[in-house]
Amino acid sequence: MNVRTSSLGYPRIGGSREWKKALEAYWAGRISREKLEEELSAIQESHLRTQRDAGLDFVPVGDFSYYDHVLDTAFMFDVVPPRFRKENGKEGLDLYFAMARGGENATACEMTKWFNTNYHYIVPEIGETAPRLVWNKPLEAYRFAKSRLGIAGKPVLVGPYTLVRLSKGYAAQEFESVVRRFLPVYVQVLKELAEEGATWVQLDEPALATGFPQEHLKLLEEIYGELSTAAPGLSILLQTYFEAAEPLGDILKLPVSGFGLDFVHDGGANLEALRQLEWPAGKSLWAGIIDGRGIWRCDPEAKLSLAEELAALVPGDSLILQPSCSLLHVPVSVRGERKLKPEVRGALAFADEKLEELALLKLALREGREAAGEALSEANAALAAFRALPERSRADVAELTRGLAELPDRRSTAYAERARLQRVKWDLPLLPTTTIGSFPQTPEVRQARLKWRRGEWNQEQYDSFIRKEIESAIAFQESAGLDVLVHGEFERTDMVEFFGEKLDGFLFTEGGWVQSYGSRCVKPPVIYADVAFTEPMTVKETVYAQSLTQRPVKGMLTGPVTILNWSFVRDDLSREQVALQIALALRQEILALESAGIEMIQVDEPAVREGLPLKASDQEAYLDWAVRAFRISTGLVRPTTQIHTHMCYCEFGEMIGSISDMDADVISIETSRSHGELIESFESMHYDKGIGLGVYDIHSPRVPSVLEMETAIDRALRVLEPEQFWINPDCGLKTRGWKETEAALRNMTEAAVSARRKTGA
């Protein structure tokens, strides 16, 4: 069987996060632009060499980015919001970074989730833009790979349909005309690639896996008919991923040379559709059979069986095996993981190992299983050893989850009565101010944690350091005039990792970093076994902070669905089952906080929406169990205990019912990067609980003025009652510096005082 292999993209960050370090050095002024470009070119070349040496038949080029691939696409077509045209004459790379991070006089472009992943993209603002090609990035990448390594790569580019679907700045009825506005520049890109000698181009259209209106089918036929005609010597791969491409029968009629389909996260729908359809003659199937988002080693026998069935459905030598999506979403390599149990390490596959899996499948399919016999036996033995670990089947956890049906998952008192009791108990001013939880993780904080982890500091030395940081944070918050305080989370590396380290069922890698947004990298915990509570996790620091002040201090936890969605999760249980295990563990922590006198408790769920299935037909079931998991965590506290939660990058209007069903007393939501669009949704909907709409963007280093925040507050109060509105930043302050944090929060409290005067409070 003459199968070939490909990949959709490779992690940008480097095995030691070289990419991140170079970017941040440039932003801090420590290296020149020339040095930045030199370092990033070396990283890009290394990544290409790795993929070539892994034996890929098609190596992607153009997937490497200086920040974000959607921003790249907008920037190459000169989709630059007018406010950045005036940004002190910035151009080129500095203009590009200003759009992502904000400038001195221009707020950053909106940032939101890339479909249902934890990667964030920069949202293009189209407006009245007349697209023009100012930078042919795929061509540049093709030339780079060819000249440096002799690789005739497969250029990768976000497709026009998905680009416009993900953009803002146009009315819904203008969608088709806006897509057509971009066709000439896509035609120009493809023509220049064909002239350069490229033979395939990958146009990513993941929006086709979200479901699309039937009337868009003619638009897609028009788009791809024009693109295919414009560059007849260039074969177009229409690439989908993350879920099933539906209706597949109609999609397969589009005039392109190949179709990329996800056979991992499609719920079996793509394979079932292919069994019912006749594969179009002359077209190739780029089959995503290796999980591009998960970290577990594949079952090679199952994948070989799948590949053999696909080969039987696709005539000739038209089958190309690949990951289900870009490997952007997984760490680089398992090779540096020296501290894991052998049984666990043997079950892991990061980006490099996934390329090895593709090579193994290709060998077995081309030359027979006997040729790959030793490697297949090793893989099967490793999986068997992992599956047999006793902590993956705990009787005590099974007993707890069996009793879920009898446990209450709602508060005993309705919100209206709780709100009355809480107003009396807390006696807060109108428009109370608070933060989302974390304060800057300075180099000193990170160094202290490193000394403790290395054993250079004992527990008492580390605890003493953390207490001093908490003391400083409480003193600052009081001086800044905040009404509800936080302890600052200085003891936490990450809002998920911290809890995973204290719960059974998690493990942690040394180098399992992935990109979240920009240069921000996270090292997700790995849920490999049953999750269980062992001892209180947050009580010590929170109680100490409360002892320093008469103002309320919030207990800070990460919610069950966010812990689930921001972890790499075992694949032998449903995600619902794992979420409920986490919820039961967090319930014990919340009750421990309450027993210790902490009666404002924030259970953050910023990642609820990113787990939402892309198909509308599947979303209700997910939201039902996600909301239930939150309520299981919080449902047993007293009526006077105030439960907060936080969400970011959430299409609030689409989830208003589910968010209300979570029954939190106060919710805070990111709104600053959406430039107030979320606030407009309250004009047509009613939300009856406490709510804080973030009044400034913490992802940008700029400090907003008092007037800017007053304007944001005033706008919110046009649609919300003053009695329900809280004033806060849009997210935690961990990634910011103290200077900008202090300035911004003082401006925020001053804006709150001004708003109270306006309301007559």
pLDDT for 651: 64
Q: Poorest-confidence range of 13-17, 578-582, 649-653, 661-665?
A: 649-653
pLDDT for 103: 84
Ligand-binding annotation for 118, yes or no, is yes
Q: What token pair was written down for 535?
A: 């001892």
Cα 436 to Cα 439: distance, rounded to the nearest angstrom = 9
Decide if 699 is catalytic: yes
Q: Where are the beta strands (DSSP E) in 580-680?
A: 600-604, 642-647, 666-669
* Eight-state DSSP code of residue 406: G
Sequence-distant (≥ 6) Cβ neighbours of residue 484 within 8 angstroms: 428, 432, 433, 434, 551, 552, 553, 554, 600
Ligand-binding annotation for 438, yes or no, is yes
**Nearest CA to 117 among 216, 209, 246?**
209
Write the class of the CATH domain 395-759: alpha beta
Per residue in 474-502, pLDDT tens? 999 999 999 999 999 999 988 898 999 99
Residue 552: how many CA atoms within 13 Å on its side-chain side? 27
Sign of CA dihedral 242, 622, 611, 655: positive
Cα 307 to Cα 316: distance, rounded to the nearest angstrom = 14
Ligand-binding annotation for 437, yes or no, is yes
**Nearest CA to 403 among 587, 563, 608?**
587
Element (H, E) at 418: helix 415-426
Per residue in 281-314, pLDDT tens? 999 999 999 999 999 999 999 999 999 999 999 9
* SS3 assignment, position 528: strand
Cα 622 to Cα 626: distance, rounded to the nearest angstrom = 6
Ligand-binding annotation for 109, yes or no, is no
* Eight-state DSSP code of residue 125: B
**Nearest CA to 518 among 9, 187, 26, 156?**
26
Cα 90 to Cα 78: distance, rounded to the nearest angstrom = 14
Ligand-binding annotation for 604, yes or no, is yes
Ligand-binding annotation for 670, yes or no, is yes
pLDDT for 652: 66
Q: Mean pLDDT over residues 223-233, rounded?
A: 95
* Eight-state DSSP code of residue 1: -
Q: Which of 265, 329, 644, 699 is catalytic?
A: 699
Ligand-binding annotation for 679, yes or no, is no
Q: Which amino acid is at 500?
A: G
Residue 303's alpha-carbon distances to 38, 263, 307, in angstroms, are 40, 10, 6
Ligand-binding annotation for 650, yes or no, is no
Q: Mean pLDDT over residues 683-694, rounded?
A: 84
Q: How many CB atoms lie within 10 A of CB 55?
A: 15
Q: Mean pLDDT over residues 132-158, rounded?
A: 98
pLDDT for 669: 85
Beta strand pairing call for 690-693 and 666-669? parallel
Per residue in 229-255, pLDDT tens? 999 999 999 999 999 999 999 999 999
Q: Where are the beta strands (DSSP E) in 307-381?
A: 319-323
Q: What token pair was written down for 520?
A: 């921000």
Instruction: State the alpha helices, DSSP H only, in 17-108.
Output: 18-27, 33-53, 69-76, 82-85, 92-101
CATH of the domain spanning 4-19+49-331: 3.20.20.210
CB of 255 within 8 A of CB of 228?
A: yes
Q: Which amino acid is at 635?
A: G
Ligand-binding annotation for 738, yes or no, is no
Which pTM does this prediction carry? 0.89
Q: Which amino acid is at 192?
A: E
Q: How many CB atoms lie within 10 A of CB 408?
A: 10
**Nearest CA to 486 among 407, 534, 548?**
548
Residues of the chain with CATH 3.20.20.210: 4-19+49-331, 395-759
Q: With 90 as the cut, is the pLDDT of residue 643 above it?
A: yes
Ligand-binding annotation for 216, yes or no, is no
Ligand-binding annotation for 94, yes or no, is no
* Eight-state DSSP code of residue 242: S
Residue in this structure with the two tokens 């099967």, named with its chain if needed: 380
pLDDT for 406: 75
pLDDT for 654: 72
Ligand-binding annotation for 648, yes or no, is yes
Contacts 24+ apart (CB under 8 A), 228-232: 228/255, 228/256, 228/257, 230/187, 230/190, 230/191, 231/187, 231/190, 231/191, 231/193, 231/194, 232/194
Q: Which amino acid is at 120?
A: H
Label residue 165 by pLDDT band (50, 70, 90).
Answer: very high
Ligand-binding annotation for 610, yes or no, is yes
pLDDT for 327: 98
pLDDT for 673: 55
Q: What token pair was written down for 296?
A: 């577990």
Element (H, E) at 690: strand 690-693
Per residue in 316-349, pLDDT tens? 789 999 999 999 999 999 999 999 999 999 999 9
Q: What token pair was written down for 266?
A: 């499609």
Ligand-binding annotation for 566, yes or no, is yes
Beta strand pairing call for 235-239 and 120-122? unpaired
Q: Which amino acid is at 653?
A: G
Ligand-binding annotation for 661, yes or no, is yes
* SS3 assignment, position 89: coil
Q: With 90 as the cut, is the pLDDT of residue 95 above it?
A: yes
pLDDT for 383: 97
pLDDT for 653: 66
